[in-house]
Structure 1
Amino acid sequence: MHIAYNGWFWNQPHTGSGQYIRRLLHYLRRVVPDLQMTLVLPPGYRSPEDLPKDVSLVMTSGRGGKIGKVLFEQRTFPQMVARVGADIAHVPYWGAPFSSPAKLVTSVLDVIPLVYPEYYATGFFGRLYTSLVRASARGSAHILTLSENAKNDIIVYIDMPPDKVTVTYLAADEVYHPRMGAERDAAVREKYHLPDEFVLYLGGFDWRKQVNQLLYAYSYVLDGHDVPLVIAGREPQWGTKRFPDMRAYADELNLSDHIHWIGYVDEADKPSLYRLARVFVYPSLYEGFGLPVVEAMASGTPVVANEIPIMEEIVGDGAYLVKDGSPRRMAGAIIALLLQEPLREAMITQGLSRATQFSWRKTAQRTLEVYQRVLNDS
């Protein structure tokens, strides 16, 4: 079996798609050491990082930018699939070609632009690209996605038959563990100038992440509990509909003296950051999976999140879920996990147990089953 992969996001490990393709190929290699894999790289990639053993590389040339991405997806990648003679073409993100010389498997990690088009499918190019990839996804022999919640949305918004969509859950990598690397943890604390105790948010800042809910909740926490809030993640250009200005909102709530904005965090530092936090808060309104929550649970850090369908599916009883997106209830959950040691220990134990139910080995095995099914359907 020979699989050719679209490698557009390979050198972007800070993105969900970049993390997904890297981990998937590494674990496919572990599960099937002799699986033939070819990674087709976009223009400009000359030194791919973190490449698994015995993965063939195909370099390409062409334009960059948005137009270059479409050309790579629709023209260059299919041409390279034909050239290497692959049995299956796997696009590990929502960007399938209309025509493929091999059986096409597409990973649709979420359908956020279809659920919230007013925020994520804006402008002429945004609307056009969303329409393009929605239509092209329907031509896939099979779609992989990350949760039952995402599968249901794919069935509704892309109009795919349920038997053509398979859930392959993500997982925390092995480095996310409650007892690993005290020296590393100390180095990370010093690198990012972290306080002795803190509550953590790590993630994006677009509208659906609901960082404003966390900030409002924190204004209640600070009424009686002076524990700093650390906000981690690459900051966007603030002040748009998609990215409301959270720094300005923090100023408006008089929180600035209590917040540490530490910016982008290196992948290697994330396990320590989770372990050092007293509580991890993830107030998102919508996710395809919600990997940071599983990473935090695997690190032995209690989690607070909103009670939304995807969080109920992924965390089960392994996190403190807040009803109705209420900032007051979120504040109460944070305070309870800071002060009530029995509750805190119970959440840590339940979170660790829940995190172990997900594994990249299972994800790789499930993906291989889909590959085999697609080939057999011919």
Structure 2
Amino acid sequence: MKIGIDAKWYFEGPPSGKVVVRNLVENLVTLFPNHQFYIFLDKRFKSQPISFQQKNVTIVYMWGKVNLIANALWFPIVAWKYKLDVAVLQNFAPLVSNFHSIVFIHDVIFESDPHHFSLTERLYFFPMKFLAKRSQRVCTVSKNEKKRLLQYGYGNESNIDVIYNGVAAQYKPLNSFPDDIIQQVKQKYQLPEKYLLYVGRLNDRKNLKNLIESLTYLNEKTIPLLLFGSYDWKSINLDEIIERHNLQRRVFRKGFADQEDLPIIYSLATVFTFVSYEEGFGLPILEAMASGVPCVVADTPVFRELFSDCVVYTNPHDPNDIATKISLLIADKNMYDDKKENGLILSKKFSWEQSAKKLIEVVESMK
């Protein structure tokens, strides 16, 4: 089959979306040499190297600055001459096309929780449902997200497929890395001996306000919280919250980490914390588990679906409960070791190879 893949996020895009696109593309072109893949990349990054050069791959560069416009209008024009059988696009399907389309919608939390999104965001996402109905199939990342898509009319039970995210092999326990590399990363980011870790966007939905406030209730009065990520869309002033609680010496915003350093940053953490109000999947939790780090996460349906009893759950609306669960995990060695071991075991059940195979099943069903 001639398969088009919208990979404009390969170089730049939403943090988790970029990880998903990179890993799916690299696995698809390697695992399925019998298919011809047309990989659509953002032409702004034409000078950037790519990691796949297989004979079954054709690279197509296109305008991709605004994903909505690029997918709805420009992608079908650029793709027309290739006579694709199927194309897989991120979030927004084409308005019209000469090929079957599969739209991969990572989440529609803006529908169920609009208060966490700015007016600009909600207006931007507004056409997603209309365009999804013009696509033959919809893929999403969890059963919980499929339920949300069904609730808000993005498809029906039979045309929405669930494809779980995977975790890359680079995420592994600390003892898997050479000592000199560990020391280089520790020095580069000024990492303390013990720390709580958060990795992700610094926006309203991630509930960083309550996470930061939880430090005031912790039994451990010196352990710092490191935040890796950057502000985007609807955000709150974290510096104001940090100063209000006099936590300038305990909460540190580190910005984005280089991709090659992130596995060691995870594996050095004492506890990974992720108390987001809502998620489509929660990829950083899976990466932390694969790194051998116990996790304290929000008690939400999607995390119950994915992570079972391999994490410690907390009420995301209560900073005191967040602190209680972190303190309990640190103090109870048996619990700590249990969550660490079971998290490692569970993480091995999620792979990008499996994700790619599932996506190809969906693609091939449209022959």
- State the TM-score bracket (shorter-chain normalisation): over 0.9
Find the aligned partners of 1:202 and 1:265 in 2 and give their Cα distance.
9
Instruction: Please name the residue that 1:209 is paired with.
Output: 206
Deviates more, 1:285-294 or 1:32-41: 32-41
Instruction: Please name the residue that 2:77 is paired with.
Output: 79
Q: CA deviation at 1:247?
A: 1.4
Cα contact 2:203–2:231 (8 A) shared by 1: no
Does 2:169 align with 1:174?
Answer: yes
Find the aligned partners of 2:91 and 2:201 in 1 and give their Cα distance.
19
Find the aligned partners of 1:346 and 1:145 in 2 and give their Cα distance.
31
Find the aligned partners of 2:350 and 2:50 in 1 and give their Cα distance.
22
DSSP 3-state at the match of 2:293: coil
Paired residue for 1:148, among 143, 152, 156?
A: 143
Q: CA deviation at 1:127?
A: 4.4
What is the TM-score with the length of structure 2 in the denominator?
A: 0.93
DSSP 3-state at the match of 2:240: helix
Given the superposition, is the C-alpha separation of residues 292 and 49 from structure 1 closer, same or farther in structure 2, using an over 3 Å criterion? farther
Cα contact 1:73–1:97 (8 A) shared by 2: yes
Instruction: Please name the residue that 2:326 is paired with.
Output: 334
Find the aligned partners of 2:118 and 2:221 in 1 and give their Cα distance.
41
Instruction: Please name the residue that 2:336 is paired with.
Output: 344
Alignment of 1:307-318 (within 5 A): 307-318=299-310
Given the superposition, is the C-alpha separation of residues 98 and 334 from structure 1 closer, same or farther in structure 2, using an over 3 Å criterion? same
Q: CA deviation at 1:224?
A: 4.5
Q: CA deviation at 1:282?
A: 0.4
Q: CA deviation at 1:108?
A: 0.4
Find the aligned partners of 2:58 and 2:316 in 1 and give their Cα distance.
49
DSSP 3-state at the match of 2:165: coil
Given the superposition, is the C-alpha separation of residues 35 and 186 from structure 1 closer, same or farther in structure 2, using an over 3 Å criterion? farther
DSSP 3-state at the match of 2:313: strand
Q: CA deviation at 1:121?
A: 5.5
Cα contact 2:275–2:316 (8 A) shared by 1: no
DSSP 3-state at the match of 2:226: strand
Instruction: Please name the residue that 1:36 is paired with.
Output: 36
Q: CA deviation at 1:80?
A: 2.2
Given the superposition, is the C-alpha separation of residues 193 and 24 from structure 1 closer, same or farther in structure 2, using an over 3 Å criterion? same
- Residue type of the partner of 2:301? P
Q: CA deviation at 1:337?
A: 2.1
Alignment of 1:229-268 (within 5 A): 229-236=225-232, 242-268=234-260
- Residue type of the partner of 1:84? Y
Q: CA deviation at 1:100?
A: 1.8
Find the aligned partners of 2:198 and 2:123 in 1 and give their Cα distance.
33
Q: CA deviation at 1:113?
A: 2.0
- Residue type of the partner of 1:82? W
DSSP 3-state at the match of 2:4: strand
Given the superposition, is the C-alpha separation of residues 224 and 48 from structure 1 closer, same or farther in structure 2, using an over 3 Å criterion? closer
Instruction: Please name the residue that 1:57 is paired with.
Output: 59
Find the aligned partners of 2:25 and 2:65 in 1 and give their Cα distance.
25
- Residue type of the partner of 2:183? A
Does 2:317 align with 1:325?
Answer: yes
Find the aligned partners of 1:75 and 1:159 in 2 and give their Cα distance.
20
DSSP 3-state at the match of 2:106: coil
DSSP 3-state at the match of 2:366: helix
Instruction: Please name the residue that 2:185 is paired with.
Output: 188
Paired residue for 1:228, among 210, 224, 234?
A: 224
Given the superposition, is the C-alpha separation of residues 170 and 127 from structure 1 closer, same or farther in structure 2, using an over 3 Å criterion? closer
Q: CA deviation at 1:168?
A: 0.6
Deviates more, 1:287-296 or 1:210-219: 210-219
Does 2:155 align with 1:157?
Answer: no
Cα distance per residue 1:184-211 (max 9 Å; x no partner): 2221111000111111111111111001
- Residue type of the partner of 2:339? M
Given the superposition, is the C-alpha separation of residues 258 and 131 from structure 1 closer, same or farther in structure 2, using an over 3 Å criterion? closer
The answer for unaligned runs of 5 or more in structure 2 is none
Q: CA deviation at 1:260?
A: 2.3
Find the aligned partners of 1:94 and 1:233 in 2 and give their Cα distance.
22
Runs of 4+ aligned residues of structure 1 deviating over 6 Å after TM superposition are none
Find the aligned partners of 1:256 and 1:349 in 2 and give their Cα distance.
33
Given the superposition, is the C-alpha separation of residues 131 and 324 from structure 1 closer, same or farther in structure 2, using an over 3 Å criterion? closer
Size of the aligned set, in residue pairs, is 363
How big is the alpha-carbon RMSD for the aligned residues of Structure 1 and Structure 2? 1.8
Aligned-pair identity (%): 26
Instruction: Please name the residue that 1:277 is paired with.
Output: 269
Given the superposition, is the C-alpha separation of residues 314 and 79 from structure 1 closer, same or farther in structure 2, using an over 3 Å criterion? same
Instruction: Please name the residue that 1:10 is paired with.
Output: 10
Given the superposition, is the C-alpha separation of residues 22 and 157 from structure 1 closer, same or farther in structure 2, using an over 3 Å criterion? same
Cα distance per residue 1:281-304 (max 9 Å; x no partner): 001111110000000000000000
Deviates more, 1:173-182 or 1:223-232: 223-232
What is the TM-score with the length of structure 1 in the denominator?
A: 0.91
Q: CA deviation at 1:120?
A: 2.5
- Residue type of the partner of 2:184? A
Cα distance per residue 1:130-154 (max 9 Å; x no partner): 2222100111111111000000011
Cα contact 1:10–1:48 (8 A) shared by 2: no
Instruction: Please name the residue that 2:27 is paired with.
Output: 27
Cα distance per residue 1:147-182 (max 9 Å; x no partner): 000000111113411110111100110011113213
Find the aligned partners of 1:326 and 1:193 in 2 and give their Cα distance.
30
Does 2:88 align with 1:96?
Answer: no
Find the aligned partners of 1:311 and 1:267 in 2 and give their Cα distance.
24
